[in-house]
Amino acid sequence: MAAARHVGACPRDEGLGYGSCRSVAGFPELNISFPATGCQKLIEVDDERKLRTFYEKRMATEVAADSLGEEWKGYVVRISGGNDKQGFPMKQGVLTHGRVRLLLSKGHSCYRPRRTGERKRKSVRGCIVDANLSVLNLVIVKKGEKDIPGLTDTTVPRRLGPKRASRIRKLFNLSKEDDVRQYVVRKPLNKEGKKPRTKAPKIQRLVTPRVLQHKRRRIALKKQRTQKNKEEAADYAKLLAKRMKEAKEKRQEQIAKRRRLSSLRASTSKSESSQK
């Protein structure tokens, strides 16, 4: 099934742009990965009819891979993406066969911002598979009857182990009482002429007595702040009531004083008019 690499004219010579020079004749390559073993393999298909089961399918669709050959019987793969003959990637959610220009920002696939808050209009391909792709990315979801050489028969060990405490517990099926530090995956550092040693990562989210002490201190400080705020609020309320009472008394005194003055003026004016 895996044929020799097809040698055709470069897309630059045919006016197709500065993309990949592979699979110009219409036979796309399949980039197949198997997460269980960590292996990945690039396979060139020699017959386009084998790929017709993938046409008109969207990204994230699971497809039976029986049409690829006898050795693929029973395999189920998931379409994870791909690139067209000019190198533009497929983008999930764009329901079209062709190419569109989208304004992309941080968090979008197919774009990495170079500056904070930067947005850019980029050309991306739709999420529907057709014959104009140069590479189609597939992930094996279900293994079939036979092994695929270089894909399911070998295992590539992971370079680094988990760093988070909960993930270490999940990997080794540990309980909360077990000490996670004894199960950290250590990385060997072997240098010529030096004593072999290993290096362990710092475990994140590890609950230690110091962490619990910091948590207790934070809670105690929060309670102190709450109590202090309550006392200050009560003192302020008392002071405000006192000031309002003083202002009310002062206002009543002023009103009484004005009334006395007005009555005094009225009496003097009355006496003056009676004398005349």
pLDDT in tens, 212-221: 999 999 999 9
What average pLDDT does the segment 251-276 reach? 86
The percentage of residues in the chain with a pLDDT greater than 90, rounded to a whole number, is: 68
Intra-chain end-to-end CA distance of the chain, in Å: 135
Average pLDDT, the chain: 88
What average pLDDT does the segment 3-24 reach? 40
Query: Which residue ranges make up each domain of the chain?
Result: 29-142, 165-199
- Which of the four pLDDT bands, split at 50, 70 and 90, describes residue 22? very low
Half-sphere exposure of 142 (CA within 13 A, CB side): 11
pLDDT at 192 > cutoff 90: no
Per-residue b or e along 182-211, where b marks 16 or more CB atoms closer than 10 Å to that residue's CB:
ebbbeeeeeeeeeeeeeeeeebeeeeeeee
pLDDT in tens, 126-160: 999 999 999 999 999 999 989 999 899 888 888 88
pLDDT of residue 276: 65
Q: What's the CA gap between 172 and 163, in Å, rounded?
A: 13
What average pLDDT does the segment 210-236 reach? 97
Q: Which residue has the tokens 């110009």?
A: 24
Backbone angles phi, psi at 201, to 5 degrees: -75, 160
What average pLDDT does the segment 220-246 reach? 98
pLDDT at 10 > cutoff 70: no
The percentage of residues in the chain with a pLDDT greater than 70, rounded to a whole number, is: 90
Q: What's the CA gap between 196 and 255, in Å, rounded?
A: 95
The DSSP line for the chain is: -BPPPP----TTTTTS-SS--S-TTS--EEEEEETTTTEEEEEEBS-GGGGTTTTTPBTT-EEE-GGG-GGGTT-EEEEEEEEETT-PBB-TT---SSEEEEEE-TT-TT---SSTT--EEEEEE-SB--TTEEEEEEEEEE--SSPPTTTTS-----SS---BHHHHHHHHT--TTS-GGGG--PEEE--TTS--EEE-PPPBT---HHHHHHHHHHHHHHHHHHHHHHHHHHHHHHHHHHHHHHHHHHHHHHHHHHHHHHHHHHHHHHHHHHH-
pLDDT of residue 27: 59
Contact 145, 74 (CB under 8 A): yes
Tell me which residue of 110, 44, 51 sits closest to 77, measured CA to CA.
Answer: 51
The DSSP line for 144-175 is: -SSPPTTTTS-----SS---BHHHHHHHHT--
